Structure formats: C-alpha cells, structure tokens
Amino acid sequence: MSHDIVGVGEAMLRIWVPAGERLEDAATYRVSVAGAEANVAMAAARMGARTAWLSALPDSPLGRRAAREIASHGVDVSRVRWTGEARMGTYYVELSVPPRPITVVYDRAGSAASLMGPADIDWDVVESARLVHISGITPALSPSCRDLSFEVVRRAAAAGALVALDVNFRRMLWSAGECRDVVAELGRGAGLVIATAEDARDVFGIDGPPEHVVDGLRDLTGAPRVVVTLGSAGAHWRGPEGRGAAAGYEDAGAVDRIGAGDAFAAGVLLGLLEDDLEGGVRRGLAMAALKLGIHGDQLTVTPAEVERLIAGHEREVSR
C-alpha cells in the first residue's frame, strides 16, 4: 500500500510536569510519546491522510509503548525496525508561562533511532509515497542519520515523491553552521522547506521583512516552495503559484507550546498534497493554534474542529 505521507525520524518518550511544577521537586511525572516526524504523521492521519512512520525502536516495553501510541492515531508503524541493542531516547519537560521559558532536558544519546543508517529503512515505503517528510533533527542525531537523511531525500525525489523539509533547528544537537550546511544541501532536493523566522535568522543569518526571509531561504535552498512561520503573527509563503501571507490566531495563553510547529507542518503537507499551498498554510495555522490548548506533543483533534476554527465558528465555551 502506498501512503500519502511518510515521515522518517526519531521518537522519544516525553517525561514532563505541568506548568508551575519543577522537575527536581515533582513527586509524579506524566509520560507521553513525541518526535517531530511522528507528530506530523499522527496529526495528518487524524485529518484523514494515509501515513507511515519509519524509524528504529528498542524491543522493550518502552519501545512498544511508543509504537502503540503512534499507531493509535492511525499511523502505519509496521516497517519500524526493532533492536535489542539500543535504548529509548527520552526528554524531560518543565512547562512554564512567560517570562519564564519552557525547560527541556534531553537524554537521547545512543538511542535506537540515532544508530539508524541507510540499511535500516525499507525503501519501497519511501519510494512509493506521495510525500516524504523529514526534519533537521534527524541528520543532527548522528553521522549515520545524516547519511540516512540524504538518502531519503535522494531516493524520494528520484521516485517522484514530494519532499518536505522542516528546518527544526536544535542547538543542543548541533551548531548553527552545521545545520546551515546540511539543510541547505538537503533543501536542493526538497519541494518544500518550512522554517521559523527565528531559525532563518539564527541558522542562515536571514532577517528582515518576512517576504525577504522567504526569498532568502528560497535562493539558499533552491526549493520551489518556502514557508516561514511568525508565531501568532501567522506565516508567509512563496511557491510556483505565487506568494502570500496568512494571519495567525490570538495567543491568549498556551497550555503546551511543544508540538505546535509539527501540527502546522502537517496542515501544510496536507495542502501540498491537494496542490493548495495557501490552503495548507491556513489549515496549518489553525491546527497549530488548536495544539496550543492540548497537553503533550500530539494534536488530538478532529477535522471538524479544524474546519470550525478556520470558518471562525469556534465558541469560547463549547456546550
């Protein structure tokens, strides 16, 4: 079976405490599953797309927990590689409200996913997909994952699949210079590049009006479509069909900001599959706004909820 969207990347267990609690003092912790490409696959599956996620997991209770949770959203995890020789990556989150930032502590070195290389992927899944999604996190995990990322883009593009690349810079994994060089090269095989305005500035040194940032990223990567997000201010895009901007949604206070960018990316990819980049951006903004009100990395809403928000029919209290 071919899939609409195939994501390639790492999943981790997220161990976290609600806003107002400290990791060092908490008596109990909540556990959920996270990972950029997996988050995108889950959100898109909930919107009706046929999605698959390719990765490696330890053959352990923790690995099985991750696979089961991802699959519960409708994602095909049947091609995940299982290993008994590596661990499950984790990360710890201390939610907060401004001006105090959210704190994230990673414990992912030596994870099963970080040990992946080109030999660990079932390439028929990649080459038969309509769209393949990868983020800048995957090549940052290890040299073998970097080789894997280039092979994913090369094979997907050669097979005629759309390739979507989300910059997703993580300074705890690599330097801005390393990210710039790798993402710029990966972007040459991509049909779409997504970046935050912050990443465009910090990684590529491109700043200024959003239109200038979009054009700078397009020139740097050669990708025919570029989308730049501006937080609650919305997003700008440029593609073969033209360019434009869409307003965001009022951010009156987020329950959990982590994963909103992945929800946005999922909406954009769905639009790309329909040859409607503008519609995808608008859907992505609505999906990201809804994610801000949900704990965990995953967007757990229905298509009807997204459509109501886009139409402006959502009420402050639904009853």
User: In the block, which residue shows the tokens 């997909």?
Assistant: 129
Whether 25 is catalytic? no
pLDDT over 80 (residue 180): yes
Residue 319 lies in a domain: no
How many of the other CB atoms lie within 10 Å of CB of 177?
9
Instruction: Report helix, strand or coil for 91.
Output: strand
pLDDT at residue 108, rounded to an integer: 94
Residue from 4, 120, 215, 262 carrying the catalytic annotation: 262
* Pairing outcome for strands 90-94 and 103-107: antiparallel
Residue 84 lies in a domain: yes
What integer is the mean pLDDT of 183-188? Answer: 96
What integer is the mean pLDDT of 199-218? Answer: 97
Instruction: Report helix, strand or coil for 11.
Output: coil
Could you report how far apart the first and last alpha carbons of the chain are, in Å? 41
Domain that includes residue 226, residue range:
5-311
HSE, side-chain direction, 13 A CA sphere, residue 231: 8
pLDDT at residue 126, rounded to an integer: 98
pLDDT over 60 (residue 198): yes
Instruction: Report helix, strand or coil for 187.
Output: helix
114-132 pLDDT per residue, tens: 999 999 999 999 999 999 9
> By C-alpha distance, which of 140, 166, 136 is closest to 265?
166
What integer is the mean pLDDT of 32-41? Answer: 97
pLDDT band at 317 (very low <50, low <70, confident <90, very high): very low
Query: How many structural domains comprise the chain?
Result: 1
* Pairing outcome for strands 242-246 and 235-239: antiparallel
pLDDT band at 100 (very low <50, low <70, confident <90, very high): confident
Average pLDDT, rounded, for the chain: 95
Cα–Cα dist 296/34, whole Å: 8
Q: Cα 126–120–15 angle (5° rounding)? A: 95
Structure-model confidence comparison of residues 114 and 232, the more confident one = 114
pLDDT at residue 236, rounded to an integer: 98
What integer is the mean pLDDT of 151-166? Answer: 98
pLDDT at residue 319, rounded to an integer: 41
pLDDT over 90 (residue 300): yes
pLDDT band at 318 (very low <50, low <70, confident <90, very high): very low
pLDDT over 90 (residue 252): no
Least confident of 9-23, 94-108, 144-158, 180-194: 94-108
pLDDT over 70 (residue 32): yes
Residue 144 lies in a domain: yes
Q: What is the CATH number of the domain that holds 99?
A: 3.40.1190.20
pLDDT over 80 (residue 313): no
pLDDT band at 312 (very low <50, low <70, confident <90, very high): confident
What integer is the mean pLDDT of 223-251? Answer: 95
pLDDT at residue 99, rounded to an integer: 85
> By C-alpha distance, which of 229, 222, 220, 219 is closest to 192?
222
Instruction: Report helix, strand or coil for 156.
Output: helix
Burial of 157: CB neighbours in 10 Å, binned 0-12, 13-18, 19+: middle
Residue 217 lies in a domain: yes
Residue 35 lies in a domain: yes
Cα–Cα dist 187/150, whole Å: 10
What integer is the mean pLDDT of 133-149? Answer: 98
pLDDT at residue 1, rounded to an integer: 62
What integer is the mean pLDDT of 208-237? Answer: 96
> Which amino acid, residue 146?
R
